[in-house]
Amino acid sequence: MLVIVAACGCLALGWWQWTRYESVSGTVQNLGYALQWPMFAWFCVYAYRKFVRYEETPPELHRPGAVTEIPAGLLPERPTAAPPAPDDPALREYNAYLAELAKNDTEKQNRTTA
């Protein structure tokens, strides 16, 4: 029932967009929507039929002996980040700034309002 309502609703919206396209203020965008809505209606029916078929005969989840992982070397390797310099003054200053912000934030959270 829901599929019929959804498909009819999509077709009605397609018709509405078609009448908007034919009106004086209609644009090509309305034409595009008028062509899209019937496809949405078709998809509602298609998805419903697919789900009904899955209920009757569910797809096989795992076949013995089937490959279940990606082989090594198939995907490109992730680049590794360059290690930071051991004594970087800018990094030390930034970390001190972050530590001060964290300290101020914990002090604010520990206050009680009365």
Note whether residue 50 is domain-resident: yes
> In this predicted structure, what is the pLDDT of residue 12?
96
Residue 6 lies in a domain: yes
Instruction: Using the predicted structure, report yes or no on whether residue 114 has a pLDDT greater than 60.
Output: no
Tell me if 98 is assigned to some domain.
Answer: no
Q: 112 in a domain, yes or no? A: no
Residue 37's CB is within 10 A of a number of other CB atoms, namely 20
pLDDT digit string, tens, across residues 2-42: 999 999 999 999 999 999 999 998 899 999 999 999 999 99
The pLDDT of residue 111 is above 70:
no
Q: Per the domain annotation, does 10 fall within a domain?
A: yes
1: tokens are: 């029932």
CA 99 to chain CA centroid, nearest Å: 36
Domain membership flag for residue 73: no
Nearest to 45 by CA among 9, 18, 13: 9
Q: Are the CB atoms for 30 and 17 separated by under 8 Å?
A: yes
Is residue 38 a contact partner of residue 7, using CB atoms and an 8 Å limit?
no
> Structural domain tally of the chain?
1
Determine the residue type at 2.
L
97 pLDDT exceeds 60?
Answer: yes
Domain hosting 9: range is 2-56
Residue 10 CB neighbours (<10 A): 20
- Lowest model confidence (mean pLDDT) among 42-46, 58-62, 74-78, 101-105: 58-62
